[in-house]
Structure 1
Amino acid sequence: MDVCFKFVQDWKEARSKGVTKVPNKKQPMQGNSRRWQPPENGEYKVNVDAAWSQGVDFCSTGMVLRDSSGHFIEGRTMHLPQAGDVLEAEALAIREALSWVKNMEVMKVMVESDSLVAVNAINGVNNYLLEVGHIIDHCRLLLQSMPSVRVKFVRKQANEVAHGLAKMPCSSNCLVIFTSPPTHLVETCNFDMV
């Protein structure tokens, strides 16, 4: 019973203060570039984004894997159930991206999201809200099993391909895999490589 009481007290304190810094943790990673940047040689990058609308209990996510030359390797869009708000949708999207990376068994990967709150929570920079704690914990477990995979914040302008994939129509419980960019994203992918 004491554990439950402490849990509720921690929740009330977090809600009253908002998101606060955790002592002895590194500062948040800031994505300063307004353009997509390729990963270092020999690395891969997964950009991920979520699309969510108020009044619905699901979201869609888009993710794209590119190499150090900026070449589109694979993209995905999927419909995920039970997202209650934007933060939950973004956290679910990052979790799906990390699961995808783990299944690919690619060595060095940078996962980028334009959700600063979710990225900071996953990286332990800030406390996270109770509503998404289980998703954040799952992301952290996935990262612990992949020491050469990192999660980083990036500006929305540098995440346009993932955003475009997340906005694509997708029926309930679908997964669409792209081996080349969809027609409406070819120009954005080419712009990123310039």
Structure 2
Amino acid sequence: MNFPNVESLEEAESLARASCLVDDEDRRQHRKFWECLRSRTLLPFLSPPRVLRSQSEFQTWFLDWLGGVDDKELVVGMMAMYQLWLARNEAREVPMIEDPEELAKRTVRLVEEWQAVQATSSVSKQQTVEHWLPPAAGWYKCNADGAFSQGDGHGGGGVVIRDHQGAFLAGESLFFPLVSDPERAELLACHRAVQLAREKGVQKIQLETDCQGAVSKLRSTEMDRSVHGPLVEDIKKLLEEFEEASVNHVRRTGNMVAHKLAKLGCLNNVNSAWNVVPPGFLVTMLDSDAGD
């Protein structure tokens, strides 16, 4: 990321002092932050539209920006915005906001420090990746995952059942037309996973999901009195019908097959089911899990 040189900053410094003070309450927020000389100096690649009618419109634009920039711009942009925010807060107590050259230098220094820390910790992060693990002989593992579309108010679920050798028994991609929040989508997926296991004659089940909240609720011996309580209690009752049952948490990397099916159901708005023979798009992932 190339910042303007010192000469160009000094040349415009007198204008910056007049246009970048935070006590000018008459200026619109867009003008006061995004069109300020320091913002345009530090963030030439980040400028929202002039007309943003609501916080949700800004959120939509910002998320689109996050998805379109490269890693270097993302890191520098986020750090620079944070430093600008700090400088404006401090300017409420002092007569002038911090010099833009110092803001730029500190941003670059902090980014370099952060990148150095990330480089030294990359090895340990790779070692924490969790993979799908088969259950003990005689048991079946039922992986479940939920997906949620806040804008559409619906969700999806993914369910896959495998034995101790990783062999595929059954799987479903589900569409939930009315879902209030992500946790409900997760619980609906767990509910269907347990139902499907019963339909397939499974006697010993390990229900596994990457939603820690759902796991905590299903493990609790107390009656769940939350908004999802009836659904939670129904799943608990179904689990009692098995010869043996357990509920476990797994990281997303160990739940990728169910995750893919959940996203598919949420996106396509349809229910799909497979018995014994998995769909072609899952074969590689299933083989990889069995190989691990």
TM over 0.5: yes
1:87 alignment partner, one of 178, 183, 205: 183
CA RMSD of aligned residues (A): 2.1
Which of the residues 159, 164, 177 maps onto 2:260? 164
Q: Structure 2: how far apart are the matches of 1:62 and 1:37?
A: 18
CA offset at residue 151 of structure 1? Answer: 1.7
Q: Which residue of structure 2 aligns with residue 182 of structure 1? A: 279
Distance in 2 (alpha carbons) for counterparts of 1:41 and 1:85: 36
The change in CA–CA distance for 1:189 and 1:147 in structure 2 (over 3 A counts) is same
Aligned-residue offset at 1:126: 8.2
The structure where strand makes up a greater share of residues is 1
Shift of residue 171, structure 1, vs aligned partner: 5.0
TM-score by length of 2: 0.51
Aligned equivalent of 2:168: 72
1:51: how far off? 1.2
Q: Does 1:115 align with 2:211?
A: yes
1:143 aligns with 2:239: yes
Count residues with an aligned counterpart.
162
Give the Cα–Cα distance (whole angstroms) in 2 for the partners of residues 124 and 43 of structure 1.
22
Q: CA deviation at 1:52?
A: 0.8
SS in 1 for 2:264: coil
Comparing 124-133 and 49-58, the one that deviates more: 124-133
Maintained 8 Å contact 1:33/1:154: no
Structure 1, unpaired ranges of 5+: 1-31
Please list every run of at least 4 consecutive aligned residues from structure 1 whose deviation after the TM superposition is greater than 6 angstroms: none
Instruction: Tell which structure's C-alpha radius of gyration is larger.
Output: 2
Identity value in percent? 31
Higher RCO structure (Cα 8 Å, ≥6 apart): 1
SS at match of 2:228: helix
1:62-88 deviation digits (Å, cap 9, x = unpaired): 111111111112211111232111011
Pair 125,113 (structure 1): closer, same or farther in 2 beyond 3 Å: farther
| Pair 1:128–1:41, CA change in 2 (3 A) | same
1:54 pairs, out of 150, 160, 167, with 150
Q: Distance in 2 between matches of 1:89 and 1:182?
A: 23
Counterpart Cα distance in 2 of 1:63 and 1:92: 10
**Separation (CA, whole Å) in 1 of partners of 2:194 and 2:212:** 17
Give the corresponding residue for 1:104. Answer: 200
Contact 2:205 2:242 in 1 (8 A): no
SS at match of 1:167: helix
**Deviation sequence 1:66-121 (CA, Å, 0-9, x none):** 11111112211111232111011101111111111122221111111111110110
Structure with greater helix share of residues? 2
- Which TM-score applies when normalising by structure 1? 0.75
